[in-house]
Amino acid sequence: MKWIDIVGHVENIKMLRQMESSGRVPHALLLTGPSGIGKFMVGSVLATALLCMSSESRPCGSCQSCVHMSRGTHPDFLTIRPDGTTIKIEQIRALQHEVALAPYVSLKRVCIIDGAELMTTQAANSILKTLEEPIGDIVFILLSANRQLLLTTIISRCMMLVFQPLIPAVLAEALCDRGFLAESSEVAARLSGGRMGKALAMLEPDGLIFRNQAIDIFDGASKASMTTLWDMATQLEKMERKDILQIVSYCTYLLRDLLMIVTGQDRELLFNIDLVDWLNRQAYGWSEKKLLKALKIVETARQALHANANARLTSEALLIKIYDLVKEV
């Protein structure tokens, strides 16, 4: 991976490249922004450039260090990720032990801490000492989707760069360039909210499975089939809360698109542009008033799930309310 492989984030990339080429990268950086936005990729390319042994245009892609990076075998590139739900003190201690030794291949080390806000207080305090008094030549790149959860003392030791979602059109074009179909790229770019990682996940063969389940909910309700509805309830019952939340999000996107159609908005603004036929068929059964009610029902379910309400009862209530609403004349 090279700098030119990164889509968007132009200003941040420009700044990082300038700092790297002039040898002025601070020893601790914090890259923040929503998950799936490309922070890890930016961090990896910066790491590759920092470790590259070429005298110009780093990363060169061909030196011993770059080859190690492309194979994922660079001994001087360290990545720390949550072990379970947190980054633990033992992981930070192991890291400190490792960096006390001389680098193996390159002249320095780079360590990415992915999900830095998930460090336990002990781990955070321990890494803070290392940031204050670095051992050896090492650059720390902290990645965080939720910087409010980081200790302010850690933030103050780092140079912070904020990453924003991409404009959907830019992301869609980049996905097309990677060989995805134009329509799928457009849908993934819109539904992902401009997040490359999320869009790529949606383009996996099963990437839109949760959207299909959201479609099933509305199909079941419009067919007024109680059996379909109970089958759906049984399915949801077996799912994890975070997956049910994804289905609920897709319900919101579908309702939002139906609202656009029912109120006669420009079809160009639809999120699910690959579902225009389905949306048009569904739209017959919906009025603006009904759609606003449905959006409220879905939002209530989303909040209940976030507040740790019983997932089974919440999803059953959601299904029954949507069913009743569709039946209403």
Minimum CB distance to Zn ion smaller for 74 or for 88: 74
Give pairs for 238-245: CB < 8 Å, separation 24+: 239/311, 241/305, 241/311, 243/210, 244/305, 244/311, 244/314, 244/315, 245/302, 245/305, 245/306
Minimum CB distance to Zn ion smaller for 64 or for 146: 64
Question: In the bound complex, what is the minimum distance in angstroms from residue 45's beta carbon to Zn ion?
Answer: 12
Minimum CB distance to Zn ion smaller for 47 or for 99: 47
Minimum CB distance to Zn ion smaller for 52 or for 233: 52
Q: Which residues have C-beta within 8 Å of that of residue 209, sequence separation ≥ 6? A: none
Question: In the bound complex, what is the minimum distance in angstroms from residue 9's beta carbon to Zn ion?
Answer: 22
Question: In the bound complex, what is the minimum distance in angstroms from residue 5's beta carbon to Zn ion?
Answer: 15
Question: In the bound complex, what is the minimum distance in angstroms from residue 70's beta carbon to Zn ion?
Answer: 10
Question: In the bound complex, what is the minimum distance in angstroms from residue 52's beta carbon to Zn ion?
Answer: 3
Give the total residue count for the chain: 329
Q: Does residue 59 have a cis bond before it (omega within 30 degrees)?
A: yes
How many residues touch Zn ion (CB under 5 A)?
6
Question: In the bound complex, what is the minimum distance in angstroms from residue 50's beta carbon to Zn ion?
Answer: 10
Strand order in the sheet with 77-80: 77-80, 109-114, 138-144, 28-32, 159-162
Residues 38-77 that bind Zn ion (CB under 5 A): 52, 54, 59-60, 63, 66
Minimum CB distance to Zn ion smaller for 20 or for 257: 20
Helix 209-222 / helix 241-262 crossing angle, nearest 10 deg? 60
Token output for 106 = 């390159």
How many other CB atoms sit within 10 Å of the CB of residue 103?
A: 19
Q: Which of 45, 39, 80 is nearest to 162 (CA)?
A: 39
Minimum CB distance to Zn ion smaller for 30 or for 50: 50
Token output for 329 = 């004349």
Question: In the bound complex, what is the minimum distance in angstroms from residue 25's beta carbon to Zn ion?
Answer: 16
> Which string of x and - marks every residue 271-300 that binds Zn ion (by CB under 5 A)?
------------------------------
Minimum CB distance to Zn ion smaller for 66 or for 270: 66
The DSSP bridge partners found for residue 159 are 29
Binding site for Zn ion (CB under 5 A): 52, 54, 59-60, 63, 66
